[in-house]
Copies of this chain bind each other. A is one copy, B any other.
Amino acid sequence: MKETEKIEIMNFDQEGYLEDGKALYETGKLVTAMADRVADEGYDAVFLMGVGGTWDELMQLEYLMNKFGDKDLEVYLIHAAEWNVMGHKRMTEKSVVLTASESGTTPEVLEACKKMKEMGVRVFAMTKPEGPIGQVVGAENCVAMASDHGSGGCEKGYYLADCFGLRLLNRRGCFPKFDLFIEQTKDIWKYMLDIRKRFEPKAEELARKYALAPYTMFIGSGALWGETILYSMCILEEMQWKRTRSITSHDFFHGTLELLEPGVPVFLYKGEDECRALDNRVEAFLRSGVTGDEDYVIIDTAEYAIPGLDDDFRVIVSPWILTVLATDRMARHYETVTKHNLKYRRYYHQFDY
């Protein structure tokens, strides 16, 4: 494949990325072993807990576990701050929680983990074992995110979370091809590099056209919805201070469509699951020309091949692909155009609240 040749990806360490990918395969085994422990011990419900970006990231796993899971599997996506005040009526000492915190210090997650441990709930975290959250959940329940070189996107976090959730499914007889999936994604990182290379000129073009727009709309659904919010909120709002609106493909038609007019950029993220039918409806509307808005961008994960991957695994990796395109590549190019460093914050981590 021509694209695997040495082509530059802006602000991106290709060798480091592949090295991290190798390490991730090993980390994935640790996470799988954690899921095995849970499956051996038994559990009544699975809680995926985050705040902001981690909440968004875990949404794809909630989707997948409901999609592939049996009728009796209970999976709940919870927001740590909300759980801290409300609790959850289905959480018992037999429940299991998966959470994540890159900094290891997220206050709401830390508070929740402490309370959960007191309740006797098993908590697993994708976080550095030496951080405050890592210390609460214990090193044996904890894996570092393993992105020493930084990928920009969330695909490696998705991979680890999926190892946990899909393994639990597998142990219930719901995702029999788990081992095959792990095998087929072992070297996926080089294809993720190819996808970056292929998208690089497009990312640059989109950033030039839209990074300075005062307001941008993002539409997604199904397995991609979490990543759609994440890019819109955690990248553009938080890191670029851009006004955005994210809306599901299904609810778009019940209000938000009225905002479309010439000059308003709209990104539609098309996925590879049942909800694609809803994405198609939005696409047809955008293409119909009735809005007069020609600034629509269709990003379809199906256009990005992963050689050697079974078709029924596409839905799982579709958010990995989108995060590579949006949260990694588009973000880097937006940063270049806006000259607004992705690390700047006005308020977050600057003040107590």
Contacts and interface: CB of A to CB of B under 8 A. Distances in A.
Interface of A: 51-53, 55, 66, 69-71, 79, 81-82, 85-86, 89-90, 108, 214-215, 221-222, 233-234, 237-239, 241, 243-245, 248, 250-251, 253-261, 274-275, 277-278, 281, 284-285, 288, 290-291, 345-348, 350-351, 353
A86 B278 CA distance: 11
Given A79-B250, A243-B215, A250-B82, A258 B345 contact: yes
Contacts of A52: 251, 253-255
B238 A86 contact: no
A278 B107 CA distance: 13
A109 to B, nearest CB: 11
A40 to B, nearest CB: 25
A90 B69 CA distance: 11
Nearest to A257: B347
Given A245-B245, A254-B52, A258-B241, A347 B234 contact: no
B250 A281 contact: no
A245 B236 CA distance: 13
A234 B243 CA distance: 19
Given A69-B89, A281-B353, A260 B215 contact: no
Nearest to A108: B250
A131 to B, nearest CB: 18
A278 B347 contact: no
Contacts of A90: 71
